[in-house]
Amino acid sequence: MIVAIDGPAGAGKSTISRLIAGRHDWTYLDTGAMYRAVTLLALEQGIAPADGEELGLLARNAEIGFQPGPDGSPQVFAGCRDVTEEIRGRDVSACVSEVSAHRSVREALVEKQRSIAAAGDVVMDGRDIGTVVCPGADVKIFLTAANRERARRRRLELAQKGVEVSQEQMERDIAARDDYDSRRELAPLKAAAGAVIIDTTNMTIEQVVDRVSGIVEKQLK
Ligand code: DC
């Protein structure tokens, strides 16, 4: 079973994907974390976000992996280094859209994503899972929510880590990233044909999980 969950930043994709994967004991793959890890390494190595050639080499050679942490949430590794926290920083968030728009980077990471999907029973979240990475996915969901609400959720997430960002700033950051991700030439953010679109603005996490689970269960029968 392959479940593809796409949508803009802060729509709840990773929370919902993790819970759905946990319910069935399936693999959860956060593809955004892979683009973020490449972006972090590029920033550290002084590779410009516009340098598609170097970024492609970096993405191809990067050993990005996932392991469950002490509380069961996935930790992200670049080689043997835990980069889970660092990839969520503002520097990475500010550059990841530009880095992920390069064909060289996408080709390298999509290949890795498809080989994980080939093992089966996986919930993958991203921007292009239902459209490009796994167009044959058994279930395709497009999660969205009002920009204001998505910014509120991201602020809460960051506040829990001690990072304060104003609501206005967060709305601007999210809108800029969505705009870039939606307008890029390759694999732009959009709902796949046949995807169920769920607007989570006024829904609790439990309600969204129930809705998605219902769709998955139907497919399993
Ligand atoms: O899901 P996220 O916010 O962590 O993703 C970070 C960025 O990575 C996102 O702004 C665009 C890029 N991305 C992508 O291009 N394709 C994916 N499948 C997942 C993420």
Average pLDDT, integer, range 93-118: 97
Q: Tell me, what's the pLDDT at 70?
A: 86
Q: Tell me, what's the pLDDT at 5?
A: 98
For the segment 12-21, what is each residue's pLDDT rounded down to a tens digit? 999 999 999 9
159 within domain boundaries: yes
31 lines ligand 1 (CB under 6 A): yes
Range of the domain at 30: 2-213
By residue count, the chain amounts to: 221
200 within domain boundaries: yes
Q: What is the CATH number of the domain that holds 79?
A: 3.40.50.300
Atom 6 of ligand 1 has which residue's CA nearest to it?
32
221 within domain boundaries: no
153 lines ligand 1 (CB under 6 A): no
168 within domain boundaries: yes
61 within domain boundaries: yes
In percent, how much of the chain has pLDDT > 90?
92
Structurally, the chain folds into a number of domains equal to 1
51 within domain boundaries: yes
Q: Tell me, what's the pLDDT at 90?
A: 87
Average pLDDT, the chain: 96
Instruction: Please return the burial class of 11, using the count of CB atoms within 10 Å of its CB with bins 0-12, 13-18 and 19+.
Output: buried
For the segment 115-168, what is each residue's pLDDT rounded down to a tens digit? 999 998 999 999 999 999 999 999 999 999 999 999 999 999 889 989 899 999
Structural contact between residues 113 and 34, judged by C-beta atoms closer than 8 angstroms: yes
54, pLDDT greater than 90: yes
133 within domain boundaries: yes
Helix, strand, coil shares, percent, the chain, to 5: 55, 15, 30
Residue 28 structure tokens: 């959860």
82 within domain boundaries: yes
Structural contact between residues 2 and 120, judged by C-beta atoms closer than 8 angstroms: yes
